[in-house]
Structures are given as C-alpha cells and as structure tokens.
Amino acid sequence: MRAYQEEVRRQGMLIRKAEIGEQRLLLLTTALRQLLADEHFRTLLRAEALEDLPKLLADRVR
C-alpha cells in the first residue's frame, strides 16, 4: 500500500510539473507572437542576424 501511495504521489508531481511547463510554453509563445507582430522588433532581429527560430517554436508561434 505504501509503494502504491508513493507512486501516486510521484505521478501527481509529474503532472504538476508538466502543467507548469505547458503554462510557461504558452506564455512564451504568446509573448513571442506579439513581439514578432512588431515591425521594429523584426527589424532589430534582422540587424542582429537573429531571424531564425527553432522549428518547434516557430510552428507553435504560427
């Protein structure tokens, strides 16, 4: 019974961590979407040669 309760606790912690990660990713993609909508920000990225995003992140922003 103790092993079962420990496993339930461990899986609950994993779920909470996954939910926090998902919330952070949503916040990041929303902020990045807003920044990329700004022409001045995109110009700054081009000037600094930072035009490329990782494919997974670029897909989520679109």
Report which DSSP code applies to 51.
Answer: -
Whole-model pTM over 0.75: no
Give per-residue burial for 6-15: e unless 16+ CB within 10 Å, then b: eeeeeeeeee
**What is the extent of the structural domain holding 31?**
2-61
Number of domains in the chain: 1
How confident is residue 55, by pLDDT bands cut at 50, 70 and 90? confident
Q: Which of 7, 3, 62 lies closest to 36 in space, CA to CA?
A: 62
* Segment 39-62 mean pLDDT: 89
